[in-house]
Structures are given as C-alpha cells and as structure tokens.
Amino acid sequence: MKIEDKSRRGETNVGFDAPAAAVNIALIGASGRIGRRLLELVAARIGAVRLRVVAMANSRSWLIARDGLGPQQALVRLAAEADASGTDFADLLLRLPRPLVVVDCSASAEIAARYPRWLGAGIDVVTPNKFGSSANRPLAQAIAAAQAASGAVLRDATTVGAQLPILYTLRDLHAAGDRVERLEAVLSGTLSYVLGGVHRGAALSQAVRDAVAQGYAEPHPACDLSGEDAARKLVILLRALGHDIELGDVERVPLVDAALLDAADPAHLLRSLEGADETWRARAAVAQARRERWVYRASFDCTSGPGRARVAPERIAIDHPLAQLTPCENALILHSAYYHAAPLRIAGPGAGIDLTAAGVFADLLATAQRHAPAVGVADTALVEAAA
C-alpha cells in the first residue's frame, strides 16, 4: 500500500515496502525543547547506530519522508508545513515501514491515548510523557494488553527522575518478589528548584520564573505547582512496585492556593504568584528558625493498612536526607521487605532538558537493540553509542 508523502506532495511514498535498513523513528513533539535536543543526539550518533527519522510532528503540523529526514534539517522542513490534522498523522504511522519506534516528547494526554493502537500494531513507544503510564485503569490496562499481544514495548524510564535509575530498579525489585512497606520521595525537579530558591532568599514568583527559563518547569507551570506532576510520578512509581492505584487515589496539596492556578495564560499565572511571595518568605524564615526545610514530599505507607499516597509541601528536619538535596534534585527512599534493615536510596538531578533528552535517547537505543538482528546493528555499536 502506498501513501502520498505530505512533506513532498507526491515526490516520495511510504509503505511497508520501504527498505528495513534501519530502525525508523517517528518523533512527536519535535519542536519542543526535549524533542530538539533529542534530534541533536540522534544526529551526533547517526553513523554509529542505524536510526532513521521518517516522521515528525508538533502541535501544528507534521511530515513524513520514506527515505528519512536529516535530523538537523528536519525542523526547518516541519516549520514550513501547513497546519494539519494530528489524527491523520497518528493513522499514517500505522502504515510506516518497520521496525518503527514512536518517540513521544509531548506532554499530551491525547497522544498517550493512542499508545494502545500503536503498540498493538507492533510499534514500540519511547516517551517521557507521563499521561500514558499514569493513566486511569482503562487506558493503563489497554496499554498493557497491547504490549502483551504484539510484543512491542513502552519504555518510559524518563517519566520519573529524568535519567535517574528509578523505574527500572523498582520494576526489577517487584519482579524479584520485593514488597514495599513505605516510601518517601522528592519527585518534582521543578518544585525542588523552586523551594530551594525560596530557602536561598528568592521570591517564590521569581523562583518559578527561573525554573521555567532553565527548562525545569513547563512554560505553563500550573501542572507542577498544583502537585499533579508529582502525583502522576507517584502513581507510576507505585505501579512499578505492583500497586493498583490511580491519580484520584493520591491526596494532593498544591504549593500555592489552587485559585491562583486557574489562569489560562502563563504570564498571568506568574504575575498572580507574586501574591504568594510574602507567605512563602515567612514560611521559609520560620523553617530556618526551627532548623527545618520545606520540600514537596511524595509519600506512601502501607505498614498498617492498604496504603496512603500523598504529595504535599511539608517541613522536615534539616538533617533529613530529603532536606539535603540541592535544587532540582530528586530522591527516593524506599523501605521494603528486601530493604528492611536499611532503606534503598536513589538521588540525583531529576529534571532538565539535557538529562531528560539523554534518558529518552538511552531508551531509544535500548529499543533499537531489540531490532538489531533485523537491521544489522552490531551490539558493540549500540553500546558505544550509549556511552
């Protein structure tokens, strides 16, 4: 079956008859900060690993090219495309040559809802998008069923902690029979950065502006400030440990008054946050006087019941491990059947464009490794590319 290539208006075609000389990539969110950085990483390794970008999309347009798109020129071509239907693009991906990996660098629930169809068709998905892995049960179950049916994989290690080895570790522990007793964590690199700035004397509103400028927060940071981002990460963590939990099961306390977060315009939101500056300046002063520190803590405890999941701003003692984190660091402290005498601790920078893009690229390389025999990629080449 042949499909006209929208990017060339008929000059090239895509279909299952295309040569399978490489692992093909369809990049969604290509013009975003993570997508752009990922393209740079792919371009730098294109000689070592046979990766071929055959499709790209952003929130406005898309293009497909059977013979591949040069990573460095692809964004220019994408910008030249007219507005087009994302539904058309999603459907056309099903007809691209295999092996194919959809790399979803968006933060779109609508895109995540398409994962079951792609996975069911044998298309792998690599993503930092949390909406799939933290989805409510119907979508989460459909994603799992699609993988089981086709053998395709969803790799989502960067949904929690960017490039930190959190999710793979917890999934391995669960597979080996471990049982969580309780955990506590700082899962939002954005709020870690913001509260760190407040403790250093910055106004809350300025700390949020800085987090946006540094790429730690989304351009519209309401999802971070409301606690939704941290709550979704906690859901993903607990699912990795075998718990059947949904976002609505997590008690969530926002960093600021929820009424401030209703603004549709990011600039208006940032101005509104100035009204919370004095409150947080006073909170930081009280905490310092008590030798405490504010953190946005995620917690789960099932030692005396089915388990309580919570994300909230909390004061903790200055000598607590979570109080020792530098701005933008994430940390997990896990008490479990295997880590009973002493907890498992994982900590390090957990946000940022470079770290997230590097983690996505590592997941992409691991996915490409699955197809190495089919495309003639030597194991050593993949190892060297990941180094």
Distance, C-alpha 152 to centroid of its chain: 19
Contact 151, 122 (CB under 8 A): yes
Distance, in Å, from the CA atom of 256 to the CA atom of 233, rounded to the nearest integer, reads 19
Give the number of other Cβ atoms within 10 Å of residue 75's Cβ: 18
Which structure tokens are listed for 134? 């933290």
Cis peptide before 99 (omega within 30 of 0): yes
The 8-class DSSP code of residue 275 comes to: G
Is residue 233 among the annotated active site residues?
yes
At 81, the amino acid letter reads: E
Contact 193, 216 (CB under 8 A): yes
At 359, the amino acid letter reads: G
The 8-class DSSP code of residue 277 comes to: H
Q: What are the CA-CA distances from residue 41 to residues 34, 36, 126, 154, 223 (Å)?
A: 11, 9, 15, 20, 28
Catalytic residue among 2, 6, 130, 233: 233
Give the number of other Cβ atoms within 10 Å of residue 341's Cβ: 6
Active site residues: 233
